Amino acid sequence: MIWKAGRDQLQVRNRSGWENFRDQWESFPLTLLNFWEWGITDLTSNAARSALAEFLVSRNLGALANGGPGAGYDLVTKSGLKIKIETAGAYAGWPPERRAAVVYPIAPTLAYDASSRQLARSWSRPAEIYVFGLLLLGEKGMVNPTDTGHWVFHVVSARALDNLEQAAPAISHGTIQARCQSSPAGWRGPVLYRNLRVEVEGLGVAMTR
């Protein structure tokens, strides 16, 4: 996530929401909470849904750090696994084939190394594990993104994605489901939120064998 990675990179302190906006030395009655209510209340929007998924996954995994802008991964777990999180939304009432057609971006990238301030010379997927989160939407007003029961997760190794097709830019939800059902190495799901940590760490161990 750009905003969170950028925040951690700049070491900006967390906010309470009650901070007032200012015009240089003079504050006025407009708070950060007003902005959150205006711009982030709809947790089903693309930007807010992605941020929410990153928050939920990071707390579940006990992640220690963010990848930083351009790193190609979002989180680093205590065991050192680099995690990339991708999300999408689909209406629960859609026919199965339409829901299966939902796609996630997985294109390789030229990763940026903040320590050397240089881009990598070759395209790659710097993350070791991808977590795909699908938020199932009900009718308007009938979805609660803060209820993890509304989310469906799949856990996939970057190595498995590399083996799909060279430089594949995207993958459909249906393809992920099919691969997980046939149980090849590197594909796990669907995974309940409460079991996400076990599956991620388990896949990390399996990758070292």
DSSP-derived secondary structure for the chain: -HHHHHHHHHTPPP--S-PEEEETTEEEEEEHHHHHHHHTS-TTSHHHHHHHHHHHHHHHHT--EE--TTSS-SEE-TT--EEEEEEEEEETTS-HHHHHT-EEE---B--EETTTTEE-SS-B---SEEEEEEEEE-STT---TTSGGGEEEEEEEHHHHHHHSTT--EEEHHHHHHHHHH--TTEEEEE-GGGHHHHHHHHHHHHT-
Q: Which two tokens stand for residue 128?
A: 């070791």
Rounded to whole angstroms, how far apart are CA atoms 169 and 108? 7
d(CA 39, CA 89) in angstroms, rounded, equals: 18
User: φ, ψ for residue 29 (rounded to 5)?
Assistant: -75, 65
Q: What is the pLDDT of residue 41?
A: 81
Domain ranges, ordered by start, for the chain: 2-7+46-207
What is the full per-residue pLDDT of the chain (209 aa) written as tens digits? 344 444 445 455 677 888 888 888 888 889 888 988 887 888 888 888 998 999 999 999 998 777 777 778 999 999 999 999 999 999 888 888 898 999 999 998 887 776 667 777 777 888 999 999 999 987 665 778 899 999 999 999 999 999 887 667 899 999 999 999 998 889 999 999 999 999 999 999 998 87
Q: What is the pTM of this model?
A: 0.85
Cross-strand bridge partners of residue 87: 133
Burial (CB < 10 A; 0-12, 13-18, 19+), residue 2, is: exposed
Tokens of 184: 């090849």
How high is the pLDDT of residue 112? 75
Whether 56 and 75 have beta carbons less than 8 Å apart is answered as: no
